[in-house]
Amino acid sequence: MNEQEGQQLIRQVTTNQENIFVDILQSIAIAVVLSIFLYVFLVTPNEVDGPSMEPNYNDGDLLFTSKLHRWFNDTSIGDALGLNYQRGDVVVFQKPGLSDFVKRVIAVPGDTIRIEDGSYYVNDKKLEEYYDLYNDLRRDGSFLRDGDPPYQLGADEYFLSGDNRNVSHDSRALGAIKESWIKGKVIFRFWPLSEFGIAERGKSDLISQ
């Protein structure tokens, strides 16, 4: 190899190294931009804090919350794509002045809600829930208690409840939750790995008595 060939080889190696470095920087930049986009517009991570959603969600569980439901709830696009909040959905909300809560949708705008003999009644029909619960609705709340008259939700109000109703601090005490306070619907659990997977909507029926 003569001197000229050696210099060409050095320039080629240097150029390849620079290209690799540029590729790495571009990949990092794309990953950062994509992460910011996902966080701002699509999904956000949330952690379950406390036992109020047991036995279905436990303290320390890590969840992904869809913001698409927040952007498109109660719109024609939301109707078409199934992005409206529905009874049985698990959502994350933050009432002003408080931290995030993870709760389940019990009643939606326009519904009436009451508690009778330890059960929820929505639009004068008993809510039959087909998911595991720790259920004690006889525990007094400050907003809605067993035997109180029905409360009718406004056009932007939801009634939310924890699955562990023995300890849950939910709409029974906090009152109706404004749509603007809801950050999104829980769509995925990524920790613990034993529970890794899609977060399904809880099944329920309204039963005439």
Q: What pTM was computed for the model?
A: 0.81
Looking at this protein, which amino acid is placed at residue 48?
A: V
Q: 10 Å Cβ neighbour count for 37? A: 10
Supply the DSSP symbol for 164. B
Q: Report helix, strand or coil for 136.
A: coil
Residue 74: per-residue pLDDT:
81
User: Which residues form the catalytic set?
Assistant: 52, 103
pLDDT digits (tens, 9 = 90+) for 24-43: 766 666 655 555 555 555 78
Range 154-163 average pLDDT = 97
CATH 3.40.50.300 fits 48-207, yes or no: no
Helices (H), 110-183: 171-174
Which helix (H) or strand (E) segment is 114 a member of? strand 112-116
Sheet of strand 204-207, all strands in order from the earlier edge strand to the far edge: 151-152, 112-116, 119-122, 125-129, 204-207
Alpha carbon distance 110, 132 (integer Å): 26
Taking Cα atoms as reference points, which of 172, 130, 153 lies closest to residue 74? Answer: 153
Residue 64: per-residue pLDDT:
94
pLDDT digits (tens, 9 = 90+) for 57-94: 999 999 999 998 888 888 888 788 888 999 999 999 99
CA dihedral defined by 123, 129, 134, 139, rounded to 10 degrees? 10
Whole-number average pLDDT of the chain: 86
Taking 80 as the threshold, does the pLDDT of residue 167 lie above it? yes
Structural tokens at position 30: 């794309």
**Bridge-partner residues for 194, per DSSP?**
none
pLDDT digits (tens, 9 = 90+) for 178-209: 999 999 999 999 999 999 999 999 999 999 97
Do residues 103 and 93 touch, judged by C-beta distance below 8 A?
Answer: yes
CB contact set of 37 (below 8 Å; sequence gap of 6+): none
Q: In the chain, what are the domain boundaries?
A: 1-41, 48-207
**Bridge-partner residues for 112, per DSSP?**
152
Alpha carbon distance 57, 197 (integer Å): 12
